[in-house]
Amino acid sequence: MARMKFYCDAERCVECNACVTACKNEHDIPWGVNRRRVVTIKDGEQGERSLSVACMHCSDAPCAMVCPVDCFYTTSDGIVLHDKDICIGCGYCFYACPFGAPQFPESAAFSSRGKMDKCTFCAGGPEDDNSSQETTKYGRNRLAEGKLPLCAEMCSTKALLAGDADVLSSIYRKRVINRGASAFNWGVNFNNSKIQG
């Protein structure tokens, strides 16, 4: 059984924000809610790196642990999803999440939090696959159609990868070997590495 994961290669990401735009468009996400974002550190300085961040579908997800109504569940593909019929919009998952993935649309007066929205790995929610209910609440279910998440599928530099952890690991391993060092070992690149994977 697959164990779905995202991986963003900081050596390749060029901060084009296409993943963010693709996600918003694919799932028709309202203003103010961003399931994915690109974070750039040392912007404009030497050693600038960017990472595309969304829900990382943790094996032992802190959001699921802290949720007061227990609305999270893990699919057979290892994707962490939540049930918007159960979510009460308390915001605890946002505090607990290491990656800042949970998002809250403003609902009603005083900007109180609406039901949480986050990356579904393009796998929808607990409703029937690609039913109108599921699409309204969670966006499209690409996984049910045999497709991978759109953000990774359309990444122009193939920095963002999505899929089975083992497959991603082997791709990543080859890249690392080619670079001769880990992705964060600045300055070492394909040209001056000795080994070719």
Partner 1 sequence: MLDSFRSSILYDVLKLTSTLLLVFMLTAPATAGPGPPKRPDFPQGVSTTNPGNDLWREVRQRDLPVTGTSQVKGVDSGVLINVEGDRWARFRIDNPVRHAPTLLVAVVLVLLAFYVLRGKVGIEGGLSGRMVFRFTDYERSLHWCLAIVFLFLAITGLILLLGRTLMIPLFGHHLFSLIASASKEGHNLFGPIFLVSLLLMLVSFARRNIYEKGDLTWLLKGGGIVGKGHVSGGFFNMGEKSWYWLVILVGLAISISGLILVFPNFGQGRVIMMVSNVVHVFGAIVLIAVSIGHMYLGSIGTEGSSEGMKSGYVDINWAEAHHDRWAKTCHENDEILSAEEFARLQGNPIDSGDATTGAAND
Contact residues: partner 1, CB under 8 A: 3, 5-8, 10, 15, 17, 20, 32, 34, 37-43, 51, 53, 56, 59-60, 62, 65-71, 73-76, 78, 83, 85-92, 94-100, 103-104, 106, 110-113, 126, 161, 165-166, 168-169, 171-172, 182-184
Q: CA–CA separation, 73 vs 109, rounded Å?
A: 30
Task: Between 88 and 177, name the residue whose CB sits nearer to partner 1.
Answer: 88
Between 28 and 88, name the residue whose CB sits nearer to partner 1.
88
For the bound state, the minimum distance from the C-beta of residue 173 to partner 1, rounded and expressed in Å, comes to 8
CB 117 within 8 A of CB 137: no
- State residue 168 phi and psi, 5-degree precision: -60, -40
Closest distance of CB 83 from partner 1, Å: 4
Handedness of CA 122, 126, 129, 133 (dihedral sign): negative
Pick 81 or 150: Cβ nearer partner 1: 81
Among residues 97, 131, 106, 120, the alpha carbon closest in space to that of 35 is found at: 120
Q: Least distance from C-beta 172 to partner 1, angstroms?
A: 4
Toward partner 1, which CB reaches closer, 165 or 188?
165
Q: Read off φ and ψ for residue 160, nearest 5 degrees.
A: -90, 120
The residue count of the chain comes to 197
Q: Least distance from C-beta 147 to partner 1, angstroms?
A: 20
Q: DSSP 3-state assignment of 21?
A: helix
Rounded to an integer, what is the distance from CA 90 to the centroid of its chain?
A: 21
Q: How far apart are CA 52 and CA 54, in angstroms?
A: 7
As a whole number of angstroms, the distance between CA 189 and CA 117 comes to 38
Q: C-beta of 191: minimal distance to partner 1 in Å?
A: 21
Cβ-based neighbours of 18, under 8 Å, separated by 6 or more: 154, 155, 156
With respect to partner 1, which residue has the nearer C-beta, 186 or 190?
A: 186
To partner 1, the closest distance from the beta carbon of 134 in angstroms equals 12
Comparison of 85 and 145: residue with beta carbon closer to partner 1: 85
